[in-house]
Structure 1
Amino acid sequence: PMYGIDGCSAPNHACTVHGLARAMAFFASAQDRSDVRSTAAARLTQAMATFPEFVAGETRTCTDLMRAMDHKVAIKTGAEGVFIAIIPEKRLGVAVKIMDGSQRGRDCAIAALLVRLGVLDPNHPAAVARRTPAILNRRGLTTGFIRPAPLLA
């Protein structure tokens, strides 16, 4: 089996982005089922959304965006430009992979998708900070902006 060890030292098996999104959809629809695995998945999703500071820590994109969505959506960054979202009210799983592994591209894309899906207010400061941040030079002057692709905007 193909797998890699991530920054947390956990083994991660290879999968497609589509497969990762489908796995997150399992978590997003878990409350509709009563088997042991689904019950555990629903509890885990609710715990992540309720206590985002334990998912990634303060000032992290995961934490700030989960709070901005009133703890209704569970999200988590991954290594090398990966981000997932579990949206129980829509029974939807989302997976993003930025090919060059960039954090700012990853954060912009997930924030834009969450806005487009109607679960994140585009005017919330946490959304603005990730979806349309300014690029500053060493003197603190704005030299450019990050914007989502037109398809996401």
Structure 2
Amino acid sequence: MKRIVTATVMNQSGVLNRITGTLAKRRYNIESITIGKSENPGISKMTVVVNVEDDAQIEQLMKQLNKQIDVIKVADITDQAIVARELALIKVLGHAQTRSEIREIIEPFRASILDVSRESMTIQVTGYTDKIDAIIELLRPYGIKELSRTGLTAFLRGSQKPVTNLTAYSLLK
């Protein structure tokens, strides 16, 4: 099952390597991982989408991440109300005769055209993973020349507090 885990970490050299190393050693399959600076200098926020077999495995994962010295807080936000987005850049073969068709396809997705050349169009789309997957499938028949996705980034909606049975671990740090 797919789980969305967020981690607040110190913005220091090697943090990403230590976290991914911890996941790799325990054979967790990382579907996507994003990390970037937060509203606080010196603090970064990380979103990891990971495939696990059961609740015990996600609990173990959270314990392992909380043991990392640079990790401030970890939460499994999968079952909570979240704001989540992914960005995709899609370069599609787009000759003059197909450009209007491609524009019609991307309009309902609120995607935008970033670049146009004689042979291709570069499209930017943001949204939840299912939306990104859907537009890619609709554009595939036109010929996708290049595709780059950021992976999911997410946090809780409103002023919610993460609900986990491991909250005590993060409070002890």
TM-score band by shorter chain is under 0.3
Write 1 or 2 for the structure with the bigger share of helix: 1
Higher relative contact order (CA 8 A, sep 6+): 2
Largest Rg, 1 or 2: 2
- TM-score w.r.t. the length of structure 1 is 0.22
Write 1 or 2 for the structure with the bigger share of strand: 2
